[in-house]
Amino acid sequence: MRGTQFSIFPINTSSFTRALPKFSQQPMLALQFTSMVLLALLLASFAVAHAANSSQPNSSAIFNQGEEAIEESAQANENTDPVPQQKLRIVSMNYCIDYVLERWQNEHFEFYPVAEHHGRIEQIMQLKPDMIIAGQFNSPIRINNFRNNGLPVAVLDEPNSFAGSRRFFQELAELLQQPELAQADIAEISAPSGSSANEAYANKAYANEGRWPTVLAMQVNQWSFGGNNLLNELFQHMGLENLAARKGDGLVKVGLEDILQWQPDILLLEGKLVTSEVAAEANTHAAKQESCGDNQNPCVFQAQQSFALANLNLMHKSLRNYQQLPHVTALYLPREVSGCMAQRLPEAIHILSSQLAQDSEAASAAQLTSEQERENRP
């Protein structure tokens, strides 16, 4: 090895001969120095790795901290009052829908009827509705204007049957995000009452003839409702035969001659209902009021209609005389109900059923009085 140049530095060793020991002349010393440098580097790397591990938390500490954070969040939620749910803002574009929404109104939604905005898009946009509910016969142009301005619009079909009416209530309740609101109305429409009219007329002569009582709905301008419509299904639901269905479906013409020929047991008229006291004050049916119940059980009349050419058939003397016959029953359905028949179908059923029940009670009382009079005769 003597005489051999040896160095650990990749540079000219002659530049270090002045500052460093002459390793080339002492190889063992150079080897010792190199070993010490490597050992120092190894110890330094261990120290750096240990410091890095010490600066990061272990996984168990992270898990424990996460559990503590979840518990603190749960306690905070328990101590904090729940955020109240925002009410739905509903705008109605249909007077008949207004009635249902007003009857269903609760703390979960607020609605704006037609009378408040009159269908004007500027007023409706200011209300910032969550939903606009329109009917089948609302203006398509107006509905498109709402949609073009980013307002949500739901259009409900106009029911023409009991099934359609049930579907209407269900769809409306779903739009309000409260399906349970429709349950009572659907149940009342679905309840079987086909024998109610026959039971109400049990004391009438035709009840023993094995037929349904006959009914005829009288409208202005000699119109009536025939078959295949909601009113006809209502009559069937109540156990009544619609005589106008003999002339076809939908709206049919029925003259006074048809009434006298068919001799209906029941006449359904449209108009406002008033008590006998109100009728007496208005000098309406003054002659009939004398023999029509007492103050505890007043009779119900149709309010006197203002004169119009469309009402001539309803004001004709022959029709009035026919109504006075003892075997004829006159039922009255308010205009606000008949005009929204599908949306107010449960109410229509209740009104007509109540009047039939009252007529039955009056007929029973009259029959009992007649029998007592015959027994008291000498």
Measured in residues, the chain has a length of 378
Structure tokens, 180: 């349970």
Q: CB-side exposure of 162: number of CA atoms within 13 Å?
A: 18
Among 10-24, 62-76, 113-127, the least confident range: 10-24
Name the band, by pLDDT with cuts 50, 70 and 90, for residue 373: low
303 with 271: CB under 8 angstroms?
yes
Among 224-238, 328-342, 356-370, the least confident range: 356-370
Q: What residues are paired with 174 via a beta bridge?
A: none
pLDDT top residue among 65 and 136: 136
- What letter would DSSP give residue 56? S
Name the band, by pLDDT with cuts 50, 70 and 90, for residue 323: confident
Structure tokens, 72: 């603190």
Instruction: Report CA torsion sign: 157, 161, 164, 170.
Output: positive
Name the band, by pLDDT with cuts 50, 70 and 90, for residue 52: low
What SS3 class is residue 173?
helix
Q: How confident is the model at residue 138, as a pLDDT?
A: 94
Q: How confident is the model at residue 32, as a pLDDT?
A: 72
Percentage of the chain exceeding pLDDT 70: 61
User: pLDDT, tens digit, for every residue of 6-20?
Assistant: 444 454 555 545 545
128 with 146: CB under 8 angstroms?
no
273 with 267: CB under 8 angstroms?
no
Q: How confident is the model at residue 130, as a pLDDT?
A: 96
**Averaged over 261-290, what is the pLDDT?**
61
What SS3 class is residue 5?
coil
What SS3 class is residue 254?
coil
Structure tokens, 235: 């009559």
